[in-house]
Amino acid sequence: SPILVIGGTDFLGHHLVQDLLDNGVKHDQIHALDLKTDRNLVSGVTYHQADITSKSAIDPLLQKVRPTVVSHTASPNPFETNRAILDKVNIDGTRNLIEGAQEVGMVKAFIYTSSSSLVHDHYHPLINADETLPVLYYPQQSNYYSHTKAVAEDIVLAANRRVGSMLTVALRPTSMYGEGDEGQIPNLVRNARAGRAGHHIGPGNNKFDNT
């Protein structure tokens, strides 16, 4: 049963590919799609280069792979400020993938990597936050990246059991780190080396969740 990882050469996606292999999924059953396929490649896995914002590119690929599981991890950088890019990739791209998966008719599970920032206004602290908090949308949501992730999550969840037996779910991780991280940890190290790590706001015992 083919598994398709969208964003399969990026930080999260390539770890997911490796985790599938570590848990017994055969190489020839794993397909990874990304805008560029020139890094984080795992031998034996099938890679596809395509733009999820292009329905004419995505539909034939889904028909070719005919996956039973789609894991959608692709997204612009959370610090991206170009709203057109965020709309196109997070909203339009996700809609293309959902519609394509429905049309294939083979997909049993569609897993979307959302974000914990959907419930955060980016001004006030969150303490013991969970899924009962309301999702915020622009303009109540000051961070446009989070707004587009929220809209995309709505698209995914609305498709649950809508066509055939395809189930959908959205996962909301916090900031991620780990082997191959090119963002959070490297930035902390660079700031420390530049002497910008000696200041903090508050008593210094604030905690922050990481995935």
Q: Which domain holds residue 87?
A: 3-173
Judge whether residue 36 has pLDDT over 90.
yes
Domain annotation covers residue 80: yes
Q: Fill in the DSSP letter of residue 136.
A: P
User: pLDDT (tens digit, 9 = 90+) per residue, 48-99?
Assistant: 999 999 999 999 999 999 999 999 999 999 989 999 999 999 999 999 999 9
Number of folded domains that form the chain:
1
- pLDDT confidence tier of residue 31, bands split at 50, 70 and 90: very high
- Per cent of the chain over pLDDT 90 is 75
Domain annotation covers residue 15: yes
- Per cent of the chain over pLDDT 70 is 98
Judge whether residue 200 has pLDDT over 70.
no
CA distance 113 to 139: 23
Domain annotation covers residue 193: no
How big is the chain by its Cα radius of gyration, in Å?
18
Domain annotation covers residue 180: no
pLDDT of residue 115: 96
Per the CB < 8 A criterion, the answer to whether 73 and 7 are in contact is: yes
CA distance 126 to 120: 7
Domain annotation covers residue 105: yes
Domain annotation covers residue 78: yes
Domain annotation covers residue 203: no
- pLDDT confidence tier of residue 144, bands split at 50, 70 and 90: very high
Per the CB < 8 A criterion, the answer to whether 3 and 31 are in contact is: yes
pTM attached to this predicted model: 0.92
Active site residue 88: no
Judge whether residue 161 has pLDDT over 90.
yes
Which has the minimum average pLDDT: 27-36, 78-87, 90-99, 116-125? Answer: 116-125
* Residue 144: CATH number of its domain: 3.40.50.720
* Non-local CB neighbours of 15 within 8 Å, separated by 6+ positions: 178, 179, 180
Domain annotation covers residue 58: yes
- In single-letter form, the type of residue at position 145 comes to Y
pLDDT of residue 198: 67
Give me the catalytic one of 36, 55, 108, 149. 149
